[in-house]
Amino acid sequence: MSANDDTDSTTTPTSPLGVILLLIAQLFTGFQFIAEEKILSGYYLDPLLVVGLEGFWGCCYYAILLPIFQQVKCDGALCNDGYLENSTLAFQ
């Protein structure tokens, strides 16, 4: 490679977009933690119960959304074999 070669394989045009999305996600998560503390600060809740309920509801949401996502056809970068989600491929 010559010293004048401007190609850099580690930088893509979507890198700034990825950083911006990451920062937005961090701000959203921080806001969620602060709001949760403000709302629940007056109550005593057993920590294991709270974590268990959060996991339970997360599993329920995913059990509802997973069959739907397996039927959604797409052609973009998020697709696996033409569908938004492919559980068989994930287990392989």
Read off the pLDDT of residues 30-58 as tens digits, 9 standing for 90 and up. Answer: 999 999 899 988 889 898 998 999 999 99
CA–CA separation, 69 and 61 (whole Å): 12
Confidence of residue 91 (pLDDT cuts 50, 70, 90): confident
Confidence of residue 12 (pLDDT cuts 50, 70, 90): low
Q: Which amino acid is at 89?
A: L
Kindly tell me the sign of the dihedral angle through the C-alpha atoms of 28, 31, 33, 39: negative
Q: Give pTM, 2 decimals.
A: 0.53
Tokens of 41: 């600060």
